[in-house]
Structure 1
Amino acid sequence: MHTPSEIHRRLNNRRFTVASNTQGLSGAGTVFHYLVDGDAISGTYQGGRIRLGKQVGRVTGVDTIELLFQCLTLDGELLSGWSRGTVGVDPAGLTTLSFEWGWLSGATGGGESSYVELSSR
């Protein structure tokens, strides 16, 4: 088992917004909220084109995670997919997430995306 303490500190009960996601549905108005319990990760997201989204995943390394996600869009589409990501820190000290992802149901393809923590400062 990996020690998830740094990821817990960086992700638990924090919110993120999209920095880059050219092939995906989430955009500037989408907010992601993560919870971490040991090596288990859960999350919700909504905004922009996303009416409601849920995530479940796990810590896979010192700075890596993997997630399964599903969402309902404002157009009534039901989609699901996978992602593998790296947790980092930007020069301002905010947590960053960088993902490689793909669709499992409801759409085809995939891409890369990045997110930055919403500052509570």
Structure 2
Amino acid sequence: MPTSFSPIGERLHNRRFAVANNSQGLSGAGTVFHYQVEGDAISSTYQGGRIRTGRQVGRVTGADTVELLFQCLTTEGELLAGWSRGTVGVDDAGRTTLAFVWGWLSGATGGGESNYVELSV
């Protein structure tokens, strides 16, 4: 893993995240994201709440930034896809945080901002 990307790998790899704020999106209470990082490649699966199943793929773009493409199937049978650009941070309790700006590419219109926080083990 490149040294400049190491902090993101350490902060995301094999960790789970819950929604802290996503007023304009589908993920919400009960949605859990599980990330994997290999070098500068990022992938994740997510489900819960209104999301039956979802996947993300992306890359590290800087010391604390990422970009992702996502797709999901909702509990109502909708098939949706979108993009996001995010920042990886740390809160006062030492938990990893994710802050994204995102938009829909297929199945819906619009976009928004969302925040996630690492779940305690």
Residue 118 (structure 2) aligns with: 117
CA gap of 1:86–1:74, structure 2 versus 1, over 3 A, is same
Matched, 1:10 2:22: no
TM-score calculated relative to the size of structure 2: 0.97
> Contact 1:71/1:80 (CA < 8 Å) preserved in 2?
yes
> Contact 1:28/1:48 (CA < 8 Å) preserved in 2?
yes
Q: 4+ residue runs of structure 1 moved beyond 4 angstroms?
A: none
Kindly tell me the number of residue pairs found equivalent between the two proteins: 120
Task: Give RMSD over aligned pairs.
Answer: 1.0
> What percentage of residue pairs aligned between the two structures are identical?
77
> Contact 1:79/1:103 (CA < 8 Å) preserved in 2?
yes
TM-score calculated relative to the size of structure 1: 0.97
- In structure 2, the gaps of 5 or more residues are none
- In structure 1, the gaps of 5 or more residues are none
Residue 54 (structure 1) aligns with: 55
Partner of 1:22, secondary structure, is: coil
Q: Aligned letter for 1:6? A: P
Q: Which residues of 2 match residues 65-76 of structure 1 at below 5 A?
A: 65-76=66-77
Following superposition, the deviation at residue 3 of structure 1 comes to 2.1
Q: 1: CA distance between counterparts of 2:74 and 2:3? A: 34
Q: Which residues of 2 match residues 1-121 of structure 1 at below 5 A?
A: 3-120=4-121
CA gap of 1:54–1:69, structure 2 versus 1, over 3 A, is same
